[in-house]
Amino acid sequence: MTEARANNIINVVNLHKSYTDAHPVLHSISFHLTEGECLGVVGESGCGKSTLARCLLTLTGWQSGEIYFDGLRLSGMGNRELREARSRMSAVFQNPASALNPRLPILDSLMEPLDERKGFVPSFLAGERPARRLEVAEALLATVGLSADALFKHPHELSGGEKQRIMIARAISTEPAFIVLDEPTASLDVTTQSVILNLLKDLQETLSLSYLFISHDLAAVHFMSDRIMVMRSGHILDEFSKSRIFDEQRHHYTKLLLEVFSG
């Protein structure tokens, strides 16, 4: 099986995705994400950010190009290998309510990924030695700053910020190497956005996570990311270290976004 650079958790090479022949969504894009890094992806609605996320998570296919995950080519994997790769990826999306079954208590929605991997307990909980399903769930909620009381509530009884914390706890429960954060604060008020972003940053440091952070909000991307990638109409227009965001050689579209960010 073809391999890519080992220190990159994600390598994308000439990825092309089209839903119809006449309307490509991703135009032969290439980039990498280093282990432990947060790569921010910013761009207006419809630029291809979410389609890119779906390709990386193998939720949709692509016409040409390659995606390497932890050095291995996803398109060359058999079913068993692909299931293993997917178990090491996770995602947090914009609307947590849509991912939570309104008829189930939070306990069951939270534990669904672990219920499918019978007996698995993430190593970051090993010191607490949780033995029972309920104890694992309580420990996961504590990791994201929620009390165990939330486990026996239903989604409609929780705030948007609480529901997003639960989705973050669910995302880290399988101890993934790579997490896609697709507009994770877009549906939240400004104060709650700040709380969630700080939580994500703390978890990244504590658990050595690799993030792809997708947003149209350049301020949030700047806060979260080590590097920033600017997309428009399926193309990568600009890519740079966060410290180089105001450099003169930035693409003119990046400068337009910065005007909004700075204003």
User: CA-CA distance, 58 to 236, in Å (whole number)?
Assistant: 20
Same domain, 84 and 99: no
Return the residue matching tokens 């877009």: 186
Same domain, 234 and 167: no
Positions in the chain whose pLDDT score sits under 50: 1-5
Same domain, 133 and 23: no
Per residue in 104-143, pLDDT (tens digit) is 999 999 999 999 888 788 888 866 555 688 999 999 999 9
The pLDDT assigned to 91 comes to 96
Per residue in 135-147, pLDDT (tens digit) is 999 999 999 999 9
Q: Does this model's pTM top 0.85?
A: yes
Number of domains making up the chain:
2
Domain boundary among 175, 203, 237: 175
The pLDDT assigned to 2 comes to 42
| Domain at 113, CATH number | 3.40.50.300
The pLDDT assigned to 122 comes to 85
- The residue among 215, 183, 185 whose CA lies nearest residue 198 is 185
Same domain, 21 and 74: yes
The pLDDT assigned to 262 comes to 66
